[in-house]
Amino acid sequence: MQRSITMKDVARAAGVSVMTVSRAFQKDTSVRPETRDTILKVAEDLGYVFDSTAANLRSQRTDFVAVTIPSINNANFADTVAGLSEVLSNEGLQVLLAYTNYDMAQEERAIEQLLRRRPEAIVVTGGKHTVRARRLLEGAGIPVIEAWDLPANPIGHVVGFSNAATMEVMVNHLAAQGHERIAFIGGDVVADTRGADRRRGFMAAMKAHGLSCDRLIEAGPPPISMREGAQAMERLLALHPDTQAVVCVSDLSAFGALTECQRRGLRVPQDMVITGFGAYEIASICVPTLTTVNPFPRKIGEEIADLIVNTIKKPTEQQIRKIAPELVVAGSTEKVSEMRNR
Amino acid sequence: MQRSITMKDVARAAGVSVMTVSRAFQKDTSVRPETRDTILKVAEDLGYVFDSTAANLRSQRTDFVAVTIPSINNANFADTVAGLSEVLSNEGLQVLLAYTNYDMAQEERAIEQLLRRRPEAIVVTGGKHTVRARRLLEGAGIPVIEAWDLPANPIGHVVGFSNAATMEVMVNHLAAQGHERIAFIGGDVVADTRGADRRRGFMAAMKAHGLSCDRLIEAGPPPISMREGAQAMERLLALHPDTQAVVCVSDLSAFGALTECQRRGLRVPQDMVITGFGAYEIASICVPTLTTVNPFPRKIGEEIADLIVNTIKKPTEQQIRKIAPELVVAGSTEKVSEMRNR
DNA sequence: TTGAAAGCGCTAACAC
DNA sequence: GTGTTAGCGCTTTCAA
């Protein structure tokens, strides 16, 4: 079965020119309403399906927005993509997604593949790229948006927040509660750039409080899973049994750490205080609930979409849209006296 | 900044014809190695990026594989897409993803949009579609794969399992442990077709055991979140306080139900037995671990990819690839005597 | 191994 | 509101 019905066939069957069929399939074009109705009906009867590939070439518009994310299997990035897709689809734009697997070399390849499809704009996660990837983005001739970060030297637009600065808020929160022996559970420092930023921010904040920051547990290459969080907690307790609080790079590892405490009969927050990052659903539902940071992933996606829609309509100056993550204090760091109903 | 460097420019700069440049960018074509190297170098220096849109039109190949999933934010579907993408990208095929939000009308729109891009194959989640969506798929002239289900009347190929039959295994497991007052927590029966199948399977299995199946809690429209699972558990305990076990439509709702028990001081499994579905990571890490069913989401994706790659190379007869989900018995249904180390 | 001519299925641009 | 002409940037096809 070969697809061979083209506009020409529809035009012939409807008794009009190809151009009129073309117009009938577009919005805001001047076609007599009855003519359009006839054409669309004829097209449907013939089983005609509009061919975007031809339209793309001729009009030099694809209505694609290219996006790279480290992993599809991460609720935070998924939320960003969901917010992005939803807004863009209202504008007739379609997301073209590629995964980098937390690997800059793979990101470079993904970016090149995506640019070949001639997207209207490209969104990349993070602000660190290979030299060639950066050159590709700079020369792409389309809006470039770096997300989930605040790069020191942005390529184009930015929608994100400082992963390092956000950790300061968390350390301040714990220090204010009187905790001093605070550990950090994170991922491989090389691959997970946002995780590395958080760790750096953690260390800076600890130093600012005059606290020692030698309780750093590496939980392996990103993405850090719940299980790896649990294993990291195990290692932490072996190395530093007197730890009072642990800051985890994400809610998933934090939840893993929490379960390890539960298995050992360590009470959270009485015996161990735990914090996460990301405001994943689990943080708000597990027992106790997890203190975390909400970076508003969906809002990031919606802001990016808004930026793209506006920029495509009317090219704009470079925009840096900062998202203000919010500390969510919950059961895992609450003073016990306040814990009646948890 | 306009992208205007074409193959013509590269050809001129390299002193060859456009056709030779075209060949240099393809694999397995006869170009003198040195010529190819020169061309690629010249292209890179000029900042040329291959234009797929033109190639697609002329060659009538896009190397797209279209996929619809209910939601991007679901680890099971994400795993399927990850497995699919990974295998396909090795073959130079790129996934073009669209979300249906558990809505058949939206699925129809997504399918139409995707087909306009002229994909090499299309994968849809589930076996229920609008009449028009089905007609579009049947007339698409490309391989169609229905996944995550075993439709009674498949459109083309199938990679999936029976959601209903799988629940039988779960009910058998609980019945074998002597439980009789077993409830079901699921989603809106209309929208979540796989959830509805599971519920139907649950009811059939209960009847087969001579057990009453009037403990059915509807937790709202899909996707059912952890919170909705917790709320459903709350309602269940209000309506049927003597319930012994509860079968949840997914691990997320099961975990929510578990936390509700924890908040109430109900011990799992001693006071309440809980099961989930999906073998999400959380099921294997929470305390107690959750008895669930592993439908091997990643394997589904890999099988689909394998099917597509083979079918594109050499058109094949309709294939029904059944996946055998596996019961994973864990702490939430284990006899207490066996629970020493949980 | 390389090149020349033709054209994929649409739409921009212009005419009426 | 509708039609005609040309051509988007590649690859198919055929020839050398």
pLDDT tens digit sequence for A133-174: 999 999 999 999 999 999 999 999 999 999 999 999 999 999
Q: Is residue B238 part of a domain?
A: yes
Task: Work out the pLDDT band at A342, boundaries 50, 70, 90.
Answer: very low
B195/B289 same-domain check: yes
Are A88 and A306 within 8 A, CB to CB? Answer: no
A243/A284 same-domain check: yes
Residue A19: CB less than 7 A from any atom in strand D: yes
B222/B200 same-domain check: yes
pLDDT computed for residue A29 by the predictor: 84
Q: Is residue A342 part of a domain?
A: no
Q: What is the CATH number of the domain that holds B198?
A: 3.40.50.2300
Residues 42-71 of B with CB under 8 A from A: 47, 49-54, 56-57, 62, 71
A281/A173 same-domain check: yes
Planar angle of CA A262, A264, A268, nearest 5 degrees = 45
- Range of the structural domain that residue B206 is part of: 163-294
Report the Cα–Cα distance between both ends of chain B, in Å, rounded. Answer: 62
pLDDT computed for residue A81 by the predictor: 98
Q: Is residue B335 part of a domain?
A: no
B155/B300 same-domain check: yes
Residue ranges for chain B with pLDDT beneath 50: 1, 339-342
Q: Which residue, A50, A54, A57, A22, is CA-closest to A36?
A: A22
Contacts of A66 in chain B (CB under 8 A): none
> Smallest CA–C1' separation from A59: which nucleotide?
C11
Residues 264-283 of A with CB under 8 A from B: 281-282
Q: Which residues are in reach of strand C, CB within 7 A?
A: A 4, 6-8, 18-19, 22, 25-26, 48, 50-51, 54-55, 57-59, 61; B 16-20, 23, 30-32, 35, 57-58, 60
Task: Work out the pLDDT band at A34, boundaries 50, 70, 90.
Answer: very high
Q: What is the pLDDT of residues A216-269, one digit of tens each?
A: 999 989 989 999 999 999 999 999 999 999 999 999 999 999 999 999 999 999
pLDDT computed for residue B339 by the predictor: 46
Q: What is the pLDDT of residues A80-134, one digit of tens each?
A: 999 999 999 999 999 999 999 999 999 999 999 999 999 999 999 999 999 999 9
Q: What are residue A182's DSSP bridge partners?
A: A245
Q: Are strands A292-294 and A326-328 parallel, antiparallel or unpaired?
A: antiparallel
Q: Which of B274, B294, B314 is the last residue of a domain?
A: B294
Q: Is residue B333 part of a domain?
A: no
- How many Å is the Cα radius of gyration of chain B? 25
Gap between the Cα atoms of A215 and A171, Å rounded: 14
Q: Is residue B146 part of a domain?
A: yes
Q: At what angle do helices B33-46 and B7-14 cross, to 10 degrees?
A: 120
Average of per-residue pLDDT values in chain A: 95
B125/B233 same-domain check: no
Gap between the Cα atoms of A245 and A233, Å rounded: 11
Q: Is residue B127 part of a domain?
A: yes
- Total number of domains constituting chain A: 3
pLDDT computed for residue B1 by the predictor: 44
Q: What is the CATH number of the domain that holds A53?
A: 1.10.260.40
Q: Is residue A337 part of a domain?
A: no
Contacts of A113 in chain B (CB under 8 A): 94
Token pair for B272: 């309440």
Contact at CB, A259 and B285, closer than 8 angstroms: yes
B276/B308 same-domain check: no
Q: What is the DSSP letter of B179?
A: -
A184/A217 same-domain check: yes
